[in-house]
């Protein structure tokens, strides 16, 4: 039998009624002749509750016990989904990560999947089981301990199962009905895409779009897993949602596929650093060791023998970055005049595989922002994206203006 993977996020299984609705969708696919692997998240809000309990109990908690607690939400959902399917006379069984087993690294709370041997679940399919309901977000370490994959890990679980079982498709059910050209809450003209290339989706996910977890898109691209993003709350149809697929499967597409943004950015500048070989490595090693997630980087020569180094990072990591740089200065590892932090910036990006073959995208983007009186603080580019840092107060205006300028409300 062909295998289909279906993943249901927290809002899709938030109540028993919603679990029943999701189970009916699974039943439809079973009736079509699929063996189905259902990946479930914890019921909406449950993981946050569990994390809070851990923090209250032990502020300096043992990461292994943290994983044991926070993974339990998915176990509850998996059992309830399996029971619901059984009540519908669909042969189903729940599976926890260690039972499959989902083999991961030992990095508790941030583990990575290393292998998913399909033999155990395939054997049960051969015996007549039609649905394997698997707890997402979790696995088992080489030491035999429960691990978790980090927030959004159920998306990664789903794609990994689709790859391991050579599934026909991986359907991600969530509270939105697909991937949009931008956030509909920011631009009323945002349009749902029928298809989007893996590379475009990866860029959008990494730039702030919350539809799919970045690691899940990376896995899908590597193993050529067809992903479909669709809503749990709308009528089911074969052409619903957005298909994330190979570029070759998209006949026509706009030059720009979407506009992404991230509100919670900060711009930091080390002023007047000694300009010598290895200085960049020294700065960014110190930031990395402090757990600062650096994104955009710009270096400017300011005067003879000195340079200014600018980077962006999440706004909640500014204090960490400031301490790392002060420690490096106190230890005489880095010598600089001052560190300036601007915590009122946002990142806005345009993304599209069409940029590879079309010129003028950058010029048009900058002209649009200029016409709206928006000053650009930092620019970075890749083959299929252009990102800028701007004052946060202009973020929504920039998104709306760029969405209009690139005609993203119209299909190609």
**Domain membership flag for residue 333:** yes
Which of 175, 199, 214 is the endpoint of a domain? 175
Question: Is residue 176's pLDDT more than 90?
Answer: no
Is residue 231 very low, low, confident or very high in pLDDT (cuts 50, 70, 90)? confident
**Domain membership flag for residue 252:** no
H runs (alpha helix) in 88-181: 119-126, 153-164
Torsion of CA 170, 171, 174, 180, to 10 degrees: 90
**Domain membership flag for residue 89:** yes
| Distance between CA atoms of residues 84 and 48, nearest Å | 25
**Domain membership flag for residue 195:** no
Say whether both 276 and 399 belong to one domain. yes
Say whether both 162 and 269 belong to one domain. no
**Domain membership flag for residue 213:** no
Say whether both 299 and 163 belong to one domain. no
CB 116 within 8 A of CB 164: yes
pTM, 2 dp: 0.81
* Residue 178: predicted pLDDT: 87
Greatest Cα pair distance, the chain, in angstroms, is 78
**Domain membership flag for residue 190:** no
CB 320 within 8 A of CB 290: yes
Q: Is 211 known to sit in a ligand binding site? A: yes
Say whether both 22 and 149 belong to one domain. yes
H runs (alpha helix) in 58-213: 63-70, 72-87, 119-126, 153-164, 198-206
* Residue 245: predicted pLDDT: 86
Q: Crossing angle, helix 153-164 and helix 214-223, to 10 degrees?
A: 10
Which of 118, 153, 175 is the endpoint of a domain? 175
The pLDDT tens digits for 100-141 are 999 999 999 999 999 999 999 999 999 999 999 999 999 999
Q: Is 152 known to sit in a ligand binding site? A: no
Is residue 301 very low, low, confident or very high in pLDDT (cuts 50, 70, 90)? confident
Q: DSSP character for 354?
A: G
Q: Is 47 known to sit in a ligand binding site? A: yes
Q: Is 175 known to sit in a ligand binding site? A: yes
**Domain membership flag for residue 271:** yes
**Domain membership flag for residue 200:** no
Which of 175, 191, 208 is the endpoint of a domain? 175
Residue partners of 17: CB distance under 8 A and separation at least 6 = none
Torsion of CA 216, 217, 221, 222, to 10 degrees: -30
SS3 241: coil
Sheet holding 103-104, edge to edge: 113-115, 103-104, 138-140, 146-148
The pLDDT tens digits for 190-208 are 998 989 999 999 888 877 6
CB 147 within 8 A of CB 104: yes
The token pair at 226 is 């067809």
Question: Is residue 252's pLDDT more than 80?
Answer: no
Q: DSSP character for 42?
A: P
CB 191 within 8 A of CB 408: yes
CB 160 within 8 A of CB 227: no
Say whether both 18 and 154 belong to one domain. yes
Say whether both 290 and 157 belong to one domain. no
Report the domain count for the chain: 2
User: Residue 306 sits in which domain range?
Assistant: 259-405
Q: Is 180 known to sit in a ligand binding site? A: yes
Say whether both 156 and 264 belong to one domain. no
Question: Rounded mean pLDDT of the chain?
Answer: 92
Say whether both 17 and 154 belong to one domain. yes
Average pLDDT over residues 346-362: 91
Residue partners of 142: CB distance under 8 A and separation at least 6 = 103, 105, 106
* Residue 304: predicted pLDDT: 75
CATH code of residue 281: 3.30.2130.10
| C-alpha dist (Å) from residue 248 to 195, 199, 224, 244, 253 | 11, 12, 12, 12, 11
Q: Is 210 known to sit in a ligand binding site? A: yes
Please indicate whether residue 353 or residue 130 has the higher confidence score (pLDDT).
130
Residue partners of 304: CB distance under 8 A and separation at least 6 = none
The pLDDT tens digits for 47-91 are 999 999 999 999 889 999 999 999 999 999 999 999 999 999 999
Angle at 254 between CA 5 and CA 385, to 5 degrees: 80
Q: Which regions of 97-194 does DSSP assign to beta strands (E)? A: 103-104, 113-115, 131-135, 138-140, 146-148, 169-174
Say whether both 162 and 289 belong to one domain. no
Say whether both 136 and 266 belong to one domain. no
| Distance between CA atoms of residues 233 and 236, nearest Å | 9
Give φ, ψ of 155 to 5 degrees. -60, -45
* Residue 357: predicted pLDDT: 82
Q: Is 89 known to sit in a ligand binding site? A: no
Is residue 320 very low, low, confident or very high in pLDDT (cuts 50, 70, 90)? very high
Say whether both 24 and 169 belong to one domain. yes
CATH code of residue 168: 3.40.1160.10
| Distance between CA atoms of residues 311 and 321, nearest Å | 11
């Amino acid at each position: 039998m062909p295998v289909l993977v279906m993943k249901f996020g927290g809002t899709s299984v938030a109540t028993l009624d919603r679990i029943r609705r999701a189970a009916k969708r699974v039943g439809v696919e079973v009736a079509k002749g699929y063996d189905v692997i259902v990946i479930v998240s914890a019921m909406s809000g449950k993981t946050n509750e569990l994390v809070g309990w851990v923090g209250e109990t032990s502020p300096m908690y043992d990461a292994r016990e943290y994983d044991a607690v926070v993974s339990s939400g998915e176990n509850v959902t998996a059992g309830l989904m399996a029971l619901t399917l059984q009540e519908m006379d669909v042969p189903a069984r729940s599976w926890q990560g260690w039972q499959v087993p989902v083999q991961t690294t030992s990095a508790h709370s941030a583990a990575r999947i290393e292998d998913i041997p399909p033999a155990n679940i395939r054997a049960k399919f051969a015996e007549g089981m039609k649905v394997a309901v698997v707890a997402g977000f979790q696995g088992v370490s080489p030491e035999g301990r429960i691990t978790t994959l980090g927030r959004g890990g159920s998306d990664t679980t789903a794609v990994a199962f689709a790859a391991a079982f050579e599934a026909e498709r991986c359907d991600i059910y969530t509270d939105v009905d697909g991937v949009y050209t931008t956030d509909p809450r920011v631009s009323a003209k945002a349009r749902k895409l029928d298809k989007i290339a893996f590379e475009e989706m990866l860029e959008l996910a990494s730039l702030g779009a919350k539809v799919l977890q970045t690691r899940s898109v990376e896995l899908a691209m590597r193993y050529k897993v067809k992903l479909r993003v669709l809503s749990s709350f709308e009528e089911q149809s074969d052409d619903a949602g957005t298909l994330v697929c190979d570029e070759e499967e998209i006949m026509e597409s706009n030059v720009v596929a979407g506009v992404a943004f991230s509100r919670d950015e900060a711009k930091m500048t080390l002023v007047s650093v000694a300009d010598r070989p290895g200085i960049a490595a020294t700065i960014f090693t110190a930031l990395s060791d402090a757990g600062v997630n650096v994104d955009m980087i710009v270096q400017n020569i300011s005067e003879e023998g000195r340079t200014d180094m600018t980077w962006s990072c999440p706004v909640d990591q500014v204090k960490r970055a400031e301490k790392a740089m002060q420690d490096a200065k106190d230890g005489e590892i880095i010598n600089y005049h001052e560190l300036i932090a601007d915590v009122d910036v946002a990142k806005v990006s345009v993304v599209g595989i069409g940029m590879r073959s079309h010129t003028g995208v950058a010029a048009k983007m900058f002209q649009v922002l200029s016409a709206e009186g928006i000053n650009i603080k930092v620019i970075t580019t890749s083959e299929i994206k252009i990102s800028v840092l701007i004052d946060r107060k202009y973020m929504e205006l920039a998104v709306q203006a760029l969405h209009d300028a690139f005609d993203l409300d119209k299909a190609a």
